[in-house]
Amino acid sequence: MKAGRILLLLAGAVVLEFFVGRSPYRRFLPVDWFLLATATVARSGDFVRAVLTGTAAGALEDALLGQPLIGVNAFAKAILGYALALVSVRVVFGGAFAVGLALFAASIANEAIVALLSALLAQAPLVIVTPDALWRALATGIAGGALESAWRFPWGEWWQRRRLRRLR
């Protein structure tokens, strides 16, 4: 994936996080847009860009969410970028469900890494699986699956068939 597209992805994630993340609907759709951006880059199989994108996305997330320790999400998403790139290279899978499941697991892992780092460095209580984290992972998985479905959907054929139906 080209660097320009990566920047566009990150910018989109920032915009969505900024608007949706601060919206009153945040509790109902707490999607980790930065994880989705990282996963999108990692799906191309480029390890270096996946890691760097994960780092940048995590740093932006820390900055936007006002984390007390800037870098915990960068640390977690760099690892997840590498792991997702490895999965996309080594494992052949497809379908919205598989992508959603992978993103669910990645989101849980992200929360676990962040919780572990916070416990180690900020002496915070170590709570890995919280309802919020589960809900966030679920939302991220659903959003990822939906995006995968939308990405894979044959929009051109659907549009042709729709036109043909109207013409008849």
Partner 1 sequence: MRPHNARVEIAAVNPRRGGAVLATVLVACVLALSAQAPARSGRGSVLQSWVLSLSAPVAGAVGSVSHGVSDAIGSTIALFHAREENERLRRELDARERELLQLRAEALAVAEGSKLLGAGSALPGVLGSVPILLVEHRAGAQNALIGAGSSDGVSPGCPLAVPAGIVGRVVTVGRGVSRAQLLLDASAAAGARLARTGELGVVRGDGHGSLVLNNIATTSSVARGDMVETAGIDGIYPRGVPIGRVESVSRGSKLFLEIRVTPSADFSRLTDVLLLAPSPAIKEGAEAGRSAAR
Q: Which structure tokens are listed for 122?
A: 């900020």
Please check whether residue 59 is in contact with residue 71, taking contact to mean a CB–CB distance below 8 angstroms.
yes
| Closest approach of partner 1 to the CB of residue 89, in Å | 7
| Closest approach of partner 1 to the CB of residue 122, in Å | 6
Binding to partner 1, residues 56-85 (CB under 8 A): 68-72, 74-75, 78-79, 82, 85
Q: Is 43 in the site for partner 1 (CB under 8 A)?
A: no
Distances in Å between the Cα of 123 and the Cα atoms of 68, 119, 126, 127 are 12, 5, 9, 12
Measured over the CA atoms of residue 121, residue 124, residue 130 and residue 136, the dihedral's sign is negative
- x/- mask, partner 1, residues 109-128, rule CB under 8 A, reads --------x---xxx-----
The CA-based angle 114-61-6, given to 5 degrees, is: 115
| Closest approach of partner 1 to the CB of residue 39, in Å | 15
Helix (H) or strand (E) holding 137: helix 131-152
Strand ranges in the chain using DSSP code E only, listed in sequence order: none
Q: Is 52 in the site for partner 1 (CB under 8 A)?
A: yes
- x/- mask, partner 1, residues 129-168, rule CB under 8 A, reads ----------------------------------------
Q: Is 48 in the site for partner 1 (CB under 8 A)?
A: yes
**1, amino acid identity:** M
Using CB under 8 A, list all residues that contact partner 1: 45-52, 55, 68-72, 74-75, 78-79, 82, 85-86, 89, 117, 121-123
